[in-house]
């Protein structure tokens, strides 16, 4: 009897804590002989660094990964979503593409070379995100960069026409599947 894929519900931003939890969950289950995973994703996005790292890690594993948008897959969450060799979406979902930004603290001052370094980093981040999405759709890198600059939002049918989504399906997983939840709540301020 074939085993069911382990389901990982990723209902969280793409940040260090949640990406580490995702990679650890996959590693632990692989040690138990699991070689098929469904990652159900609803994410507002987050860190480009962590999103690209998670994508490359998951794509490089000798396992089958299906990703399933169950709400909103925004920003770098789309890169994480692209880690699935099979990509599904519920009918009432969205995908948001937009550019990347640099954050500055308080009254931080930067010299010309530091600003130049930040700009180069942003350009590389946009290029890497576009490469990932283009490699997993029928769009070119230039198409993706333009969509990011236009802050494009896709519904599941539009995402399917891009071949970002392979199938629109409400059922997330089979009854009786093991589900691991990865969630993150902002700490409450006193």
What residues form DSSP beta bridges with 116?
A: none
The 8-class DSSP code of residue 46 comes to B
Per-residue pLDDT of 145-161, as tens digits, reads: 999 999 999 999 999 99
For the chain, the 3-state helix, strand and coil shares in percent, each to the nearest 5, are: 40, 25, 40
What pLDDT, on the 0 to 100 scale, is given for residue 97? 97
Mean pLDDT is lowest, of 6-20, 88-102, 155-169, for: 88-102
Per-residue pLDDT of 93-135, as tens digits, reads: 999 999 887 676 777 877 888 888 888 988 999 999 999 999 9
Q: Can you read off the two tokens belonging to residue 90? A: 């519920």
Q: How far apart are CA 162 and CA 140, in angstroms?
A: 10
What residues form DSSP beta bridges with 171?
A: none
Average pLDDT over residues 163-183: 96
Q: How many residues does the chain have?
A: 190
**Is-contact 92 63, C-beta < 8 A?**
no
CATH of domain 6-97+150-183: 3.90.226.10
At residue 56 the predicted structure's pLDDT band, cuts being 50, 70 and 90, is very high
What pLDDT, on the 0 to 100 scale, is given for residue 2? 57
Q: What is the pTM of this model?
A: 0.91
What pLDDT, on the 0 to 100 scale, is given for residue 115? 80
Given a cut of 60, whether residue 55 has pLDDT beyond it is yes
Given a cut of 60, whether residue 1 has pLDDT beyond it is no
Domain ranges of the chain: 6-97+150-183
**Is-contact 39 177, C-beta < 8 A?**
no
């Amino acid at each position: 009897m074939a085993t069911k894929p382990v389901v990982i519900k990723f209902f969280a931003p793409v940040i260090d804590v949640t990406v580490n939890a995702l990679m650890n969950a996959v590693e632990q289950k692989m040690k138990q002989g699991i070689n098929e995973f469904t990652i159900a994703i609803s994410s507002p996005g987050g860190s480009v660094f962590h999103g690209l790292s998670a994508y490359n890690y998951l794509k490089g594993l000798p396992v089958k990964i299906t990703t399933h948008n169950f709400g909103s897959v925004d920003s770098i969450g789309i890169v994480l979503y692209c880690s699935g060799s099979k990509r599904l979406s519920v009918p009432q979902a969205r995908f948001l593409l937009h550019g990347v930004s640099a954050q500055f603290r308080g009254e931080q001052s930067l010299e010309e070379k530091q600003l130049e370094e930040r700009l180069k980093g942003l350009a590389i981040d946009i290029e890497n995100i576009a490469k990932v999405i283009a490699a997993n759709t029928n769009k070119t890198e230039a198409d993706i960069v333009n969509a990011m600059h236009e802050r494009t939002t896709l519904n599941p049918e539009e995402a399917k026409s891009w071949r970002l989504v392979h199938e629109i399906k409400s059922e997330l997983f089979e009854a009786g599947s093991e589900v691991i939840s990865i969630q993150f709540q902002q700490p409450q301020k006193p």
